[in-house]
Amino acid sequence: MIKPSQSLPPFADYHMHLTSEEVACRMTEKLSEEVLGSFKPSRRNADDMIAVLDASGVQKAFALSNAYQWGMDFLNVPAEEEYEMVKFENDFTAHEVAKYPDRLFPFFSINPLKAYSIEEMDRCVNQLGLHGLKLHFTNSNVDLRQPEHLAALKNVLTHADKLNLPVLIHFLSRSPQFGAGDAQIFMDEIVSKLPNLKIQMAHLGCGGFTDKMIEMFDAFIEGFEKNPQLDKKRFVMDIAAVISDGSKPLTMALTPEQEIRITDQIRRWGVEHVLFATDWPIFEPAEYVAMVKTKLHLTGAELETMLQNKWLFED
């Protein structure tokens, strides 16, 4: 029996961000302290990422492009400049991961509501050789309750399915109505209709800390229990940055009740369908393992299952 304190380091960190100098500067310039809190955007390249992985003994990572941020309304990027900068950021990702092809699995990104989405997907796959797609619904102002947004998203995800791209989604709209109904639309209109598309939901199902996350995780747990044809082998949750004592920027401290509640949810969902992930630069892997061990009440064996998950690296 392996005790948690003796566990191996995580096999992979399934959610880490690469950031160009350019996007870091633009974020710092345009986003208020109210949005960023104590988070300081700065350039993070593949060497930085590998140094962090090595310090924690982690072998592999999903390296995410922040290109979607160039299509974010708050950054006020002029229309004629926007697609150029999206390409620039995805090029930066390709250039960086090429230094460590055996360790970094690259995800390009786009704002799925933009006219250039499909063109950029084809370019990233065919010219840059990138093999995952990251979408951030809050930054891209995607609201599934709006028919034209849902249509655009379906178009992008149908194309991702055709290109055999796994998709990592930060799911949270800016609508005050956002909740279980959105999870239902997503399961009915996307997950059920694209049975081969591999989907990773960031932050245990919803990028809205913490009550909203618990509500959304419940909605997915119940949705999958009611529809046994939905397959968790191709629909997983990542645990990026949601288990916190609030000491890190952009995170919230869990109450003891929330710690118990989330532990129960992870068990009910199935710990084998949860990926270890830090949202680096928010956390580094070793410190996040320690946080997860302290805050969740998982057994040593459950923790090992999560930390050693090989997800897409096994295919």
Residues that bind Zn ion (CB under 5 A): 279
Considering the complex, state which of residue 63 and residue 194 has its C-beta at the smaller distance from Zn ion.
63
Q: How far is the CB of 99 from Zn ion (least distance, A)?
A: 21
Helix (H, G, I), strand (E, B) or coil at 260: helix
Return the residue nearest Zn ion (CB atom). Answer: 279
CB of 234 vs Zn ion, minimal distance in Å: 21
Q: Which one-letter amino acid corresponds to residue 107?
A: F
Which of residues 108 and 224 has its CB atom nearest to Zn ion in the complex? 108
Identify which of 237, 302, 218, 231 has the alpha carbon closest to the alpha carbon of residue 275: 237
| DSSP state letters, 6-32 | GPPPPSEEEEEE-B-HHHHHHHHHHS-
C-alpha–C-alpha distance, residues 122 and 290, integer Å: 40
Nearer to Zn ion, 120 or 279 (CB): 279
Shortest distance, CB of residue 279 to Zn ion, whole angstroms?
Answer: 4
- Rounded to the nearest whole angstrom, what is the least distance from the CB of residue 207 to Zn ion in the complex? 8
d(CA 134, CA 156): 11
Least distance to Zn ion from the beta carbon of 255, Å? 23
Contact status, residue 215 vs residue 203, Cβ threshold 8 Å: no
Give, rounded to a whole angstrom, the gap between the first and last alpha carbons of the chain: 28
Residue with smaller CB distance to Zn ion, 40 or 145: 40
Which lies closer to Zn ion via its Cβ, residue 91 or residue 279? 279
Which whole-number Å values give the CA distances from 36 to 166, 251, 252, 282, in the listed order? 29, 11, 13, 12
Residues in the chain: 315
Residues 107, 158: Cα–Cα separation, whole Å: 17
Nearest to 55 by CA among 283, 294, 300, 293: 283
Angle at 277 between CA 303 and CA 91, to 5 degrees: 155
Comparing CB distances to Zn ion, the nearer of 44 and 224 is: 44
**Please, which residue, 224 or 280, has the CB nearer to Zn ion?**
280
**Token pair of 90 as six digits:** 């995805």
Residue 130: phi, psi to the nearest 5?
-85, 150
User: Minimum CB separation from Zn ion for residue 188, in Å?
Assistant: 26
Q: Least distance (Å) from Zn ion to the CB of residue 15?
A: 6
